[in-house]
Amino acid sequence: MYVSNMSIKTQPSDETGHDATRQHLLEAAGEVFAEVGFRAATVREICQRAGANIAAVNYHFGDKETLYAAVLTGSCQVSMQKYPADMGLAPNATAEQRLHAFVRSFLWRIFSHGPEARHGKLMAREMIEPTAALDSLIKENIRPMSMILMGIVRELLGAKADERTVRLCGTSVVSQVLFYHHCRPVLSRLYPDEKYDAPQIEGLADHITRFSLAAIKQTAKAKSAEAKK
């Protein structure tokens, strides 16, 4: 039997609809969680924004906690894909260059205005009210990033540097970056000309790197002098 091609209508598959609904939930949940945090967010609000049935969260994710974990992990991956820790440096880059790239990537991730900026907002809330999802994020994303930074700092300090000194120097680098993000409401009032646009972000990356390199160099000298006593 002959069937004309004109009579055939392609219908979206159930799988396509399933994936679309899941993605809409992730997007809507990302907005809500970033705005009000995990605890204040409601499944009803998320489903309304996603244009989905109230039961959709349970169907696709099981519960709000699993949805939140997926949002947190996904937002981290999006952020890291756009601004990786090495910022595209050559494999033979120096430790100084790698530190600068690490600082730049960190600053761009937290000050960006694109979709990748959502992770910074979510993490700011995690610092105030940690959830169970933080443990998994640390294992899968934050700890590997920390190891990259500590490796750079260890190289700058020298092979004989003790682990505590490496850790203190590394966390001091991170603290400088986070200060400009977490204290932005105060800084914007103290210094209204600070807009954190592209030129200022790049300038800030240069400053933090120079400051950190000088401090690490001085720390290495002090530790060497102590060892000789």
Confidence at residue 6, expressed as pLDDT on a 0 to 100 scale: 38
Q: What's the CA gap between 227 and 221, in Å, rounded?
A: 10
| Whole-number Å distance between alpha carbons of 171 and 163 | 12
pLDDT in tens, 86-98: 999 998 999 999 9
Q: Band of the pLDDT at 14, cuts 50, 70, 90?
A: low
What pLDDT digit, counting tens, does each position of 54-79 carry? 999 999 999 999 999 999 999 999 99
Top pLDDT among 15 and 21 is at 21
The domain limits of the chain are: 17-62, 73-223
CB 148 within 8 A of CB 205: no
Q: Please report which confidence band the pLDDT of residue 198 belongs to, taking 50, 70 and 90 as the band edges.
A: very high
- State the chain's mean pLDDT as an integer: 90
Q: What is the pTM of this model?
A: 0.85
**Given this model, what pLDDT does residue 15 score?**
54
- Domain 73-223, CATH: 1.10.357.10
Lowest mean pLDDT among 6-10, 14-18, 117-121, 153-157: 6-10
Name the percent of the chain lying above pLDDT 90: 78
What is the model's pLDDT at position 223?
A: 87
Tokens for 90, please give them. 């050559």
**In Å, how far are 77, 103, 145, 162 from 174, measured between CA atoms?**
19, 8, 11, 19
pLDDT at 13: 46
CA atoms of 108 and 196, how far apart (whole Å): 10
Q: Cβ neighbours of residue 167 under 8 Å, at least 6 residues apart?
A: 150
Q: Report the pLDDT value the prediction gives residue 126, as an integer from 0 to 100.
A: 92
Please give the C-alpha separations between residue 206 and each of 15, 105, 117, 154, in angstroms, as whole numbers: 48, 12, 21, 20
Q: Residues 57, 63: contact at Cβ < 8 Å?
A: yes
The SS3 call for residue 131 is coil
CA distances from 41 to 27, 29, 136 (A): 14, 8, 20
CA dihedral 54, 60, 63, 69 (to 10 degrees): -130
Q: How far apart are CA 199 and CA 36, in angstroms?
A: 31
Give the pLDDT score at 94. 98
pLDDT digits 0-9 by tens, 17-36: 678 999 999 999 999 999 99
Q: Is pLDDT of 3 > 50?
A: no
From residue 213, alpha-carbon distances to 62, 139, 146, 157, 217 in Å are 47, 28, 17, 10, 6
- What CATH number is given for 17-62 in this structure? 1.10.10.60
Q: What is the pLDDT of residues 101-136, one digit of tens each?
A: 999 999 999 888 877 778 888 998 999 899 999 999
CA distance 16 to 20: 6
pLDDT at residue 147 tops 60? yes
